[in-house]
Amino acid sequence: MQITEERLRQIIREELRAVLKPADEEPVAIEELAAYLKLSTYTVAQKAHWGYIPGFKVGREWRFYISEVLAALTPPSVVDPWQQSPRSEAGRRAAITRRRNAAAANSNGRD
């Protein structure tokens, strides 16, 4: 059985619809999310900055999809005990970069 190009496009569209957010969900501002979560806007901004809450910036303002935030804040059924938090992962990457930069500076001084 051969699949036509149009049928293949239809299958891909259906699969993408299942994966992507519903079109009716609008991103909310930090104030709305803070009120929904009963947290301060400062706490929500910090958690978004460190990657604990998924969000994106439009200019200088944070925007969030509530469904993504709730999914991120819901604990997984199986927890990986070795998984690093986003903050410790960022610190690890920064330490590696500092070591590389220091090694490069030392090797440049020896030439």
106 vs 61: which has the higher pLDDT: 61
Q: Residue type for 38, please?
A: K
The answer to whether 62 touches 29, Cβ cutoff 8 Å, is yes
**pTM tops 0.85:** no
Question: pLDDT tens for residues 20-46?
Answer: 665 677 899 999 999 999 999 999 999
Q: Which residues have a Cβ under 8 Å from the Cβ of 68 and sit 6 or more positions away? A: 21, 54
Q: What is the pLDDT of residue 31?
A: 96
Domains and CATH numbers, the chain: 24-75+84-110 (1.10.1660)
Distances (CA, A) of 95 to 18, 37, 103: 39, 33, 12
Q: What is the pLDDT of residue 111?
A: 52
12 burial via Cβ count (<10 Å: 0-12, 13-18, 19+) = exposed
